[in-house]
Amino acid sequence: MKIIIRNIALLFSIGLFMNSCQKMEQPPLGDYPKDANPPGGPLKFFIALDGTNVDSTKANFGTNTNVTYVDGVSGQAMNADADGHIVYPSGNDFNTSTSFTIAFWIKKDGPNKAGGGTTFAFGFATSKDIWTAQDIFLEFEDAGNPSSKDSAAAKFYLNDQWFEFIKASDIDKRMPHVLDGNWHHLAFVFDSASSTLTPYVDGATPTNLPDGFGKFNNNGGKLDFSSLAGLVVGGPGMYALGKTPEDIGQTWMGNFNGAIDQFRLYSEALSAADIKSLYDNKE
């Protein structure tokens, strides 16, 4: 009799369990959240800088020096005043790129004083013996070169070729308004199919650049990122080599002294619509 009762109880319990399982609501397979950038996707490195320096694509952390966090264009941003910068051992596998996009937001109130040197928004260090100790960077000239709140003299360096946003006797190629103390979005897109670098300011290509401005002529028009050795956000790249500008005799190289937000590295050339979307959505 006891065996029969136990069997009846067991069957009753199994019935309750099966009934409860049938009532559990599970989302259809297609409703599960999808990763916008799956493993191996084009977004190789992304720091939102929302109170932390973590790279969201690989959950890697950088090393802060004199960095605080302030209100950003979206959430918080890094404040690179007082020689602040963040060092990362790499941009993950960004160095395998044949095309690329570098996009981020900056906020800086005016250029450095005349004679104060340049300020670096970011720099990729190189393991080669290059005089800059960098293979890619963006620098802003001081007020003597001249930069102003209305027009920023800047230079983008790629594989030993300079793309200069400066004022010459016949043309003014400076970046409009980017040092006026407000948030501005910058993007640099390299397309290997045309060997061309296309810059964007606040979601659009500046209209003051001459035809053929972005043509990349070094290395047969192909990127060579084999020597990339580390990434610095908010300063020149030699910090990723454990060096300072003084160590390599380049005392004119300075830190950004402003705020940076939403720093992204892609291994593909984003379209103009993609860049506009980043700007419109404050990404």
Q: Which residues pair with 156 in a beta bridge?
A: 138, 163
Residue 157: helix, strand or coil by DSSP?
strand
Reported pTM: 0.86
Q: Please confirm whether the linkage preceding 199 is cis (ω < 30° from 0).
A: no
Taking only the tens place, the pLDDT of each residue in 87-96 is: 999 999 999 9
As given in the structure block, the two tokens for residue 74 are 């979206």
Give the residue with greater pLDDT, 30 vs 208: 208
Pairing of strands 253-255, 228-233: unpaired
End-to-end CA distance of the chain, in Å? 71
Closest of 164, 42, 161 to residue 98, by C-alpha: 42
- Tens digit of pLDDT for each residue in 108-140? 998 888 888 899 999 999 999 899 999 999 999
CB 47 within 8 A of CB 263: yes
E strand spans, 97-146: 100-107, 118-126, 134-140
Evaluate if residue 21 carries a pLDDT over 70.
no
Residues 6+ apart with CB under 8 A from 153: 111, 140, 141, 145, 146, 147, 165, 166, 167, 174
Identify the CA nearest to 236 among candidates 125, 111, 76.
Answer: 125
User: What pLDDT shows up at residue 5?
Assistant: 38
For residue 33, the model assigns a pLDDT of 35
- Overall average pLDDT of the 243-269 stretch: 94
Q: Is 80 exposed, middle or buried (0-12, 13-18, 19+ CB in 10 A)?
A: buried
pLDDT at 38: 67
pLDDT of residue 116: 80
Highest CATH level, class, for 44-280: mainly beta
Which of 46-55, 79-88, 155-164 shows the lowest mean pLDDT across its residues? 79-88
Domain ranges of the chain: 44-280
Query: Worst-scoring range by mean pLDDT, 34-48, 94-108, 136-150, 167-181?
Result: 34-48
144-157 mean pLDDT: 92
Q: Give residue 36's pLDDT.
A: 60
CB contact set of 112 (below 8 Å; sequence gap of 6+) = 118, 119, 140, 142, 143, 147, 254, 257
**R_g of the chain, CA atoms, integer Å:** 25
Is residue 171 predicted with pLDDT exceeding 80? yes
Residues facing 118 on adjacent strands: 253
Instruction: Give the pLDDT score at 127.
Output: 92
Q: Do residues 253 and 117 lie in contact, with contact meaning Cβ atoms separated by under 8 Å? A: yes
